[in-house]
Amino acid sequence: MDGKKMLIQKSSEIYIIDASGDAPKNLNETKVDLSGWSFSLNPRDEWRQMFLEAWRLERDYFYDTTLHDIDYDGLLEKHLPLVARVSDRYELSDLISHLVGELSALHIFVRGGDLRETPDDIQIGSLGARLIRDEARGGYRIDHIVRTDPDYPELRSPLAYPDVDIKVGDVIKEMNGVSLLTVTDPSILLRNQVSKQVLLTIVSGSTGDSHQEIVRTISAREESDLRYHEWEYERRLMVEKEGKGDLGYVHLRAMGGNNYSEWVKNFYPVYNRKGLIIDVRHNRGGNIDSWILEKLLRKAWFYWKPRVGQPTWNMQYAFRGHIVVLINERTASDGEAFAEGFRRLGLGELIGTRTWGGEIWLSSNNFLVDRGIATAAETGVYGPEGEWLIEGHGVDPDIMVDNLPHETFNGKDAQLERAIRYLQEKIEKEPVDVPVHPQYPDKSFQYDDKIP
């Protein structure tokens, strides 16, 4: 307080330096050692404080100052006595969920915090394949190996590497020397084996010969991602086959930073097709809808004709053909904003089922003291007609097509099939051809013999 010293925080470190104006020669020598600090906390007192804070932050951040006209003070009075019965952080999150859920906004998520985790969390390794018990052949038969786009070799099943001699139909007889028939499921032998080498004894399905292979497993999360890549790859192959080279396919998992490159990798190779399917089914949202819509709004207005080769057009990479967007009940947030914008801007039709229905945007800045959060829906979305958009209802498709569970399990995709047919019919009725270049100009001169 005498002004001779300054306390400075840099990241998570605290320093005390002279207030003379001269920088210390060695900042580390002025660091306050906090390594020995510890505090005694009464969890129930902290939980009560966090509960009240979650209630207050929701009140102060929510986009509607009237809080959807609910009795928010009354909700606090109703729920606060239950805090005394909370016995861990998970139960606190559950109670907070009951409180803030009364606001009926889909972008309110309760997550994070100082959650107690078990020290014996067991991670299960995966081989990236579907295995079926086959007692007659002495092990588990490989029924399917997850396949992905060969252009991205880093995305492949552990059984699909070129130096691994394993094929569909082969049988895994042993894993690290243990017979697979001695366990009820192969995952038992893959406990705590994530990213580790595993020795497999393989019986060939074609010759019956036995040999051993070493593979490195992946995690359950990586396997889930691998299967998603397979789903995307199979959709694209289907469009290529059924569309006969006239149609392109782009799937966007979300609308975040990584999805810029996802768009670039999948759109630009097919920008000159006659039709395009943009698939935002299962899209988790983000904030790049305007960027993608901007690309789709580009219109070609003149053409370049080189001496050799096909014409190209200005407004480079403008898509000139017909477009449809696939949506479903798992299309969320900014995926929904993209779909609604696509239709309102007159870019094409929406095919599928009604979307999730969450369109009050958020920043996720209202954290609690233990870094948990009950996110506040902060920014509502409305249209020029003066109506709130999407929230609580979703985006309705122009063409309703549902993927039935059993058909989907068997590999059928009715929504994608309908999109392909729609575009093919549209192309036939309204052809998308590059205009033929005009006749080259005749600039020869006619000389009059009478002119000297």
By annotation, the residues acting in catalysis are 107, 333, 391
**296 in the Ramachandran plot: left (φ > 0), alpha (ψ -120 to 50) or beta?**
alpha
* Total Cβ atoms within 10 A of residue 428: 8
- Alpha-carbon radius of gyration of the chain: 30
Taking the C-alpha atoms of 290, 294, 295 and 299 in order, what is their torsion angle to the nearest 10 degrees?
Answer: 160
| 220-243 and 414-429 helices, crossing angle to 10° | 30
- CA angle at residue 114 from 112 to 119, to 5 degrees? 105
CA distances from 149 to 152, 156, 236 (A): 6, 8, 10
Nearest Cα residue to 293 out of 273, 314, 327, 319: 319
Residues 6+ positions from 64 with CB-CB distance below 8 Å: 380
DSSP 438: P
Q: How far apart are CA 184 and CA 51, in angstroms?
A: 45
Identity of the residue numbered 89: R
Q: How far apart are CA 221 and CA 126, in angstroms?
A: 9
The secondary element (H helix, E strand) that includes residue 149 is none
Beta carbons of 123 and 219 less than 8 angstroms apart? yes
**How far is residue 61's CA from residue 377's CA, in Å, rounded to a whole number?**
8
Using DSSP's 3-state secondary structure scheme, residue 201 falls into: strand
Q: Are 430 and 274 in contact (CB under 8 A)?
A: no
